Amino acid sequence: MKQISFLSKDDIHSFPKILAKNIKDFYPSGSKIGIKVHFGEPGNLFAFTPAFIKQAVQAVQNVGLHPFLFDSPVSYDSPRNTVNGYCQVIKEKGITPESMGCPVIISDESITTTFNNLEYSICKPLINTDGVLVLTHVKGHTCTGFGGSIKNIGMGGMSKTTKRRIHDSGKPLYQEGCIECKECVINCPLENIRLKDNRPYFDQNWCCGCSNCVYVCTSGCITPQKEVFDKGLVAGVKLALDRYPPVFYVNVLMNITRLCDCVTNPGPRLAGDIGILFGDDIVAIEKASLDLIIKEMGEDVFLKEHKKSPLVHIKIAEDLGLGHLEYILKKH
């Protein structure tokens, strides 16, 4: 059973020391380590601060490793959807090679492969390195319930083209046979479905492709355009992990907002601050994150808020052999 270690919010000042302790013997000595981080949309006050990111960089350096920070441009309408635009955004946040003390790479450069007859372009910088540290702010997400390490790689580690393709693949297609049960209407997180003339209508421009309507349809009359969102996302993770050097994960359960770091106003917190998790099993750390949040709040707040439990994509990751749902939590 995999061990996940836990640093309580009350001891958060020990984060650099505990991170260093966790990774000290994990990577080959002197390795170049790509830190995958989401720098956040301009104006988002809950994404990682430059000071926190720098703590992670220094912890990596303090054990004799050579980090660089990495993220890729987004596919939606944002100043972060070009390399130059994203570089400008992080510069304005105060994130530069000089301030961080290491290279900062924003790149869409990728290699393309296929899975289930669908194309995936995986960003190269995390392939062409000696080790990867996935540093993730866990927060709510419309498509997956929450965005954790799986989302950080399965979306954030893919090219813009693949990001868009995964979302589009999960969008609904009506076949025939609607019985007007209204389950799709009730369970669309974006209130994007209306029933008319004995069938559902979707606003494809507004749809995020989460595939929730596909999952809940009682007559099976809605299919995804190509593949449900969660399977597309997790396939991206599998293809990336197949090519990455050793990967270690850090999930930060603080400022757990309703929406993700991709928006300026992510809404209220869905849960209180909990702490930070460390581990080398992506399924175990995601499951431990969800379990701790459910324990803190007494319910699956993501299922309640976004109509989909994060367990959907976490279980798919286990099915694809990416890790284990069972884990042992060790407190620091």
In the bound complex, what is the minimum distance in angstroms from residue 168's beta carbon to ligand SF4?
A: 10
Structure tokens at 147: 């965005």
Sign of the Cα torsion 162, 143, 157, 70 reads: positive
Binding positions for ligand SF4, 120-179, rule CB under 6 A: 170-172, 178-179
Number of residues in the chain:
332
- C-alpha dist (Å) from residue 293 to 45, 129, 253, 302, 326: 21, 33, 8, 10, 16
Q: Does residue number 188 form part of the binding site for ligand SF4 (CB under 6 A)? A: yes
CB-nearer residue toward ligand SF4: 311 or 322: 311
In the bound complex, what is the minimum distance in angstroms from residue 139's beta carbon to ligand SF4?
A: 19
In the bound complex, what is the minimum distance in angstroms from residue 267's beta carbon to ligand SF4?
A: 17
In the bound complex, what is the minimum distance in angstroms from residue 191's beta carbon to ligand SF4?
A: 8
Structure tokens at 34: 């790509």
CB-nearer residue toward ligand SF4: 54 or 226: 226
Between CA 95 and CA 200 the distance in angstroms is 46
Among 140, 148, 156, 209, binds ligand SF4 (CB under 6 A): 209
DSSP state letters, 193-226:
EEEETTEEEE-TTT-----HHHHH-SSS-EEESS
Q: Does residue number 211 form part of the binding site for ligand SF4 (CB under 6 A)? A: yes
Structure tokens at 192: 């994007």
DSSP assignment letter at 191: -
In the bound complex, what is the minimum distance in angstroms from residue 224's beta carbon to ligand SF4?
A: 8
Q: Does residue number 105 form part of the binding site for ligand SF4 (CB under 6 A)? A: no
| Contact assessment for residue 163 and residue 251, using Cβ atoms and an 8 Å cutoff | no
Binding site for ligand SF4 (CB under 6 A): 170-172, 178-184, 188, 190, 192-193, 195, 200, 202, 207-213, 216-219, 221-222
